[in-house]
């Protein structure tokens, strides 16, 4: 008997869509036509691919979307999104007036990173609470 693949929750579907958008934006940052550091661009692309791979796994694995309940996975996703956000901020510091296309892409990526973190916090709000003793 074949296992069925559960559909993603609305939050999981949104996170997946944001990861896809971040990946497309990262690919649009072209080291060949940009003055941005090619190593920074590649690092953002590589990190975006890690996000994509996580969501690809959830799409094909029975019950895969429930993995988002894992505090460890959400922590890893936050780390990945923080890396993308940080490198986008770093590259924005190198932007000059002739690089408007790159500036728009980086700004959009930062906005998507913020949205990703916000949506991720809604996945399991109880588990996101501070667990340190008072």
In tens, the pLDDT along 86-96 reads: 999 999 998 88
Give backbone dihedrals phi and psi of 133, rounded to 5 degrees, phi first: -65, 150
Give the chain's mean pLDDT: 87
For residue 7, the model assigns a pLDDT of: 81
For residue 1, the model assigns a pLDDT of: 43
Rounded Cα–Cα distance for residues 69 and 77 (Å) = 12
Rounded Cα–Cα distance for residues 111 and 105 (Å) = 10
For residue 34, the model assigns a pLDDT of: 77
Q: 96-128 burial, b if ≥16 CB within 10 A, otherwise e?
A: eeebeebeebbeebbebbebbbebbeebeeeee
**Tokens at 37, concatenated:** 């550091």
């Amino acid at each position: 008997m074949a296992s069925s693949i559960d559909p993603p929750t609305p939050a999981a579907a949104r996170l997946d869509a944001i990861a896809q958008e971040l990946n497309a934006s990262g690919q649009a940052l072209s080291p060949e036509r940009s003055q941005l550091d090619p190593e920074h661009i590649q690092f953002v692309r590589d990190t975006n691919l890690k996000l994509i791979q996580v969501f690809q796994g959830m799409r094909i694995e029975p019950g895969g979307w429930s993995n988002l309940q894992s505090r460890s996975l959400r922590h890893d996703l936050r780390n990945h999104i923080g890396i993308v956000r940080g490198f986008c901020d770093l590259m924005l510091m190198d932007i000059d007036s002739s690089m408007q296309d790159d500036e728009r892409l980086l700004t959009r990526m930062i906005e998507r990173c913020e949205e990703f973190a916000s949506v991720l916090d809604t996945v399991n709000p109880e588990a996101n609470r501070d667990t340190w003793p008072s």
